[in-house]
Structure 1
Amino acid sequence: MKITGLNLDIVWKNKEKNFKVIENELHRQEADIFLLPEMFSTGFCMDASEVADKNYESLEFLQKMAKEKNAAFSGSAPVEEDGKFYNRMYFVHPDGNADFYDKRHLFSFSGEDKVYTPGKKRVIVNYKGFRILLQVCYDLRFPVFARNNDDYDMILYVANWPEKRVEAWEHLLKARAIENLCFVFGLNRIGTDGNNLFYQESSHCFFADGREISQKEGNLVKAELNLEELKDFRNHFQFLNDRDSFEIKL
């Protein structure tokens, strides 16, 4: 499985410009999955009534890209649906069919919980033999919600995680890989947003033992994942058999 993430300097509140940048950056790239940051079309914005997709613009863009590249595309966007706003992570398959996960843990420090509605379920996608857990930014701080019940092989995290707290982002990504015996690909944005928050390049892919397996090429982060290697590792180190059971209340 080949994954390519785009370290995107998101243009604040400008979907068309962001779509164009993404198209240009990925024009000559090939992968099984292309990953985009949290709120890739607008930036992490609390002006939901202004920026949220009302006609699934971001989804339609991902569907177009998925069909053109014959690959899966994933990233989150603000969406208005039935009078509510969601920070919605899409996973669009090459044929255009889409799974989605609404961010469960809303970032109260920024007031996200006052604007957006939390998701009510954990979402695992099946793609090319991999079982993939979808997660968004602040979800990373809550290990019980991401606990591996032998039901996934990889976690995809998309984020707008500022430089001032980047140590937590990088350490927790590695921790999730180790404790859940899985691949973890965490994609953060770069640049400065409309709130004057700076985001340094800090995207990574980790194997189940904590090793980094990604390479950086300009604004791209690439990793090749071997499912058989993961299965062999899990068979040898059967730590998940000793895990505690938790009840997640949604």
Structure 2
Amino acid sequence: MKSIFYILFFAFISLFSVKAQDKSSCKVALVQPHLVWGDVKANLSAFDKRVQQCKGCDLIVFPELFTSGCEMKKKDKAEAIRTKDEIASHYPAIIRKMQKWAAQSKALIIGSTIYKEERKYYNCLLTIFPNGDYQYYDKHNCFKKGGFSPGNKQLVFSWKGHRFATYICYDLRFPEWSRNSDQYDTA
């Protein structure tokens, strides 16, 4: 059962290609509590409990759209927009909560959520450092009927002697988008 969990988990989390810049290790926690569809507060509470169990980790990874339970349920268009608006309204609070977790755990926290700008919705991957700084990238290869706008930049960063290139699920399937342009996985 555990192997099925991890296969399913990897189908939805942000995927990383890693290049070790030195011989230090990087302890990674993959966190997946039970999600409540569309309930940001309940999901943040569930992740709060799980992050507390990740003592000694360098990197804590949440699944794609961890704050909303992926929100892939079939809905009419008006209801889908209301749900996305509700989730996107929590964006500043989600960043603050992730900053708190990163500071407390001294780990890098990564997960994606819904972000809205100029009436467009994005599946935004947030990378939060323990000092409160953060970087992001918006999923580029979105499903045509998924209601998200594509992002146009990649996110490659260094952490604890390693370089990471971040991809949200479907982006990894497109070599023209995910090709190694920043030399993150070469010797």
Q: TM-score range by the shorter chain?
A: 0.7 to 0.9
Tell whether the 8 Å contact from 1:56 to 1:79 is kept in structure 2 after alignment.
no
State TM-score, norm by structure 1: 0.56
Q: Determine the structure 1 residue equivalent to 2:165.
A: 133
Alpha-carbon separation, structure 1, partners of 2:61 and 2:99? 13
Aligned to 1:23, the other structure's residue is in SS state helix
Q: Determine the structure 1 residue equivalent to 2:141.
A: 105
1:29 to 1:55, Cα distance in 2 relative to 1, 3 A: closer
1:150 to 1:89, Cα distance in 2 relative to 1, 3 A: closer
Unmatched 5+ residue regions in structure 2? Answer: 1-25, 72-79
Instruction: State whether structure 2 residue 172 is matched by structure 1 residue 116.
Output: no
More deviation, 93-102/140-149? 140-149
Instruction: State whether structure 2 residue 65 is matched by structure 1 residue 33.
Output: no
Alpha-carbon shift at residue 59 of structure 1 (Å):
1.4
Give 1 or 2 for the bigger CA radius of gyration.
Answer: 1
Unmatched 5+ residue regions in structure 1? Answer: 154-180, 182-233, 235-250
- Percent identity over paired residues: 30
Q: Kindly provide the amino acid, as one letter, of the partner of residue 122 in structure 1.
A: Q
Q: Determine the structure 1 residue equivalent to 2:6.
A: none
Q: Determine the structure 2 residue equivalent to 1:61.
A: 97
Superposition pairs of residues 1-250 of structure 1, within 5 angstroms: 1-30=26-55, 31-45=57-71, 46=80, 47-53=83-89, 55-108=91-144, 111-112=145-146, 115-149=147-181, 151-153=183-185, 234=187
Runs of 4+ in 1 over 6 A off after TM superposition: none
Tell whether the 8 Å contact from 1:38 to 1:44 is kept in structure 2 after alignment.
yes
Total equivalences in the alignment: 151
Q: Kindly provide the amino acid, as one letter, of the partner of residue 38 in structure 1.
A: E
Aligned to 1:120, the other structure's residue is in SS state coil
Alpha-carbon shift at residue 50 of structure 1 (Å):
3.1
Q: Kindly provide the amino acid, as one letter, of the partner of residue 106 in structure 2.
A: N
Alpha-carbon shift at residue 9 of structure 1 (Å):
2.5
Alpha-carbon shift at residue 147 of structure 1 (Å):
1.6
